[in-house]
Amino acid sequence: MTCSTRGASPRLAGLGSLISAIATIAALSSPTAAQTVSDNTFLDTNWALYLFWAGNFTAGSLGSTTATQVAVGGNPGAFRNVTNVLDAAPPGLQTIVVSMSIYRLFVYDPGVSGAITSINYSEDAACTAGCFGQGQSTGPALLQGANIYILSSSTVVTGPALTWANHTLTGLTAADFGLVRVMSNGTLFDNTNHPNFSAGAPIVFGFFRANGTGVSGPGYTLSAGIDNWRVTIAAAGLPVAAALPTLGGWALALLAFGIALIGFAWTRRAR
């Protein structure tokens, strides 16, 4: 028995071409997907700790910070616990300790992946020891080149409670971050100096924690945890994709109708 082959039907070929065109237009007209980086286990090897004080970055007198993974007690499971130790402030000055925990496993390059249009940030926080007042100041931080920037447009605190609470910030831009510059007068950042979200150096993300004494105030030690840390980055779409029109409901309906007609005609011919 012999068999023969024939070229594809023009209608079948038309169907394939139409489907291919639809797939291409849909892919090009889709917006750039947001990228999310998160951590809820907090292995110590995945995080780098930066401590700021006067001269080598704690303002006023001496202070220190430790940050380590705690295996249980998070929301749920493991969490990262940050302990700030502040010595008594010199007369007329404050002791301020600011630390940044930077996540090592994710790097975003605006020059390659697109300019950052906004950032959403979320963390769960709870005071864990020495709790009083407002707990620790907290919020997103990022490292770009040799500079560290922290949230400067608003204030977020963990609170003194031992129970976990979520803190979420949305729509953050470069203007919401200031260059860390801790001074003994209580200043934590230079809000005239911002990161470059358009074409600057690659960026790594994390969070910060800060505590301070009152002027000439006594020292203290306070610990607070963080869990379910998440940063979502929205980037500008590619210029070509942005210039293409998107398919509206009527256009999609007409394309579907065209596919149906071609399929119907091909089926009748096959019979």
> Which domains can be identified in the chain, with CATH numbers?
10-30+240-270 (no CATH), 35-236 (2.60.120.430)
- Nearest CA among 119, 157, 113 for reference residue 138: 157
Can you say whether residue 114 is alpha, beta or left, with left for phi > 0 and alpha for psi between -120 and 50 degrees? Answer: left
Judge whether 226 and 79 are in contact, CB under 8 Å: yes
Detail the DSSP E strand segments found in the chain: 35-39, 47-52, 63-74, 77-86, 96-103, 116-129, 137-144, 147-151, 156-157, 165-172, 177-180, 189-190, 203-212, 220-235
What's the one-letter identity of residue 103? Y
Angle (CA) 116-117-119 rounded to 5° is 80
Strand partners, 167: 123
What's the one-letter identity of residue 184? S
pLDDT number for residue 253: 47
pLDDT number for residue 62: 74
pLDDT number for residue 25: 41
Helix axes 10-29, 249-270, angle to 10 degrees: 160
pLDDT number for residue 271: 52
**Three-class SS of residue 230?**
strand
List of the chain residues with pLDDT < 70: 1-33, 53-61, 182-187, 237-271
